[in-house]
Amino acid sequence: MRNACSTAILRILVGITCILIGVSACSKKETLLLRTAEYRTWEKTTPDILDYPIPGHEDKYRRIFISPEGYTPGITAKGGRTYYSFPAGTQIIKEILDPSWNGTDPPLMLTGMVKKPEDPRARGGWLWIVYVPKTGKEMVITEEFCITCHANANEPHPYGDKNRKNEFRDYVFFPPSVDSGPVKQDSSY
């Protein structure tokens, strides 16, 4: 995982620079795939702001929202292993926040997964997307680095409930049905 991570970080930086300067050739579509206007009304997959460091995020904070299509993913057992499957149309949006975030400011960036298996740009059935609010641009990442790291979600890993049972989690580190399902919005932030 480590080698994949450093390559991944480099590629993320290149990709992000690309959308930060607003090079339109970088984005293949003008209409946004991510439902950026509504995602803050969706339920969250983790109750709290994530503030522990993970590769590629420096000291940034994160919150994760999931669209209603994905509140209860399909769960099947095959050959002694549990498999999660999120329906087409599911969107999972992770906000990247400044650690001094005041509770209302727009995020620095969104990273998103959109379940769209029939799209040729999909990897593992998901479109992997980066969106920068300042420029209003999003970019679909067709390089393998997002999915390469997210494949770690399909085996035991250090985050959340740690997936100790080695379930196939459909590339999602924090699936909503672990523990008590998606987290209802509350007034704390």
Which residues lie near ligand HEC (CB under 6 A)?
5, 8, 12, 45, 50, 54-56, 62, 64, 92, 94, 111-113, 128-130, 141, 145-146, 149-150, 153, 159, 172-174
Listed in sequence order, the residues at least 6 apart from 147 whose beta carbon sits closer than 8 Å to its beta carbon are 123, 124, 126, 128, 171
Query: Cβ of residue 154: shortest distance to ligand HEC, in angstroms?
Result: 11
Query: Cβ of residue 95: shortest distance to ligand HEC, in angstroms?
Result: 10
Query: 62 vs 137, which CB is nearer to ligand HEC?
Result: 62
Query: 180 vs 187, which CB is nearer to ligand HEC?
Result: 180
**What does each C-alpha distance from 78 to 68, 81, 167, 168, 186 come to in angstroms?**
26, 5, 11, 10, 37
Query: What is the spatial distance between Cα 189 and Cα 187, in angstroms, rounded to a whole number?
Result: 6
Query: 22 vs 53, which CB is nearer to ligand HEC?
Result: 53
Query: Cβ of residue 101: shortest distance to ligand HEC, in angstroms?
Result: 15
Query: What is the spatial distance between Cα 98 and Cα 159, in angstroms, rounded to a whole number?
Result: 21
Structural element, H or E, at residue 17: helix 2-20
Query: Cβ of residue 17: shortest distance to ligand HEC, in angstroms?
Result: 13
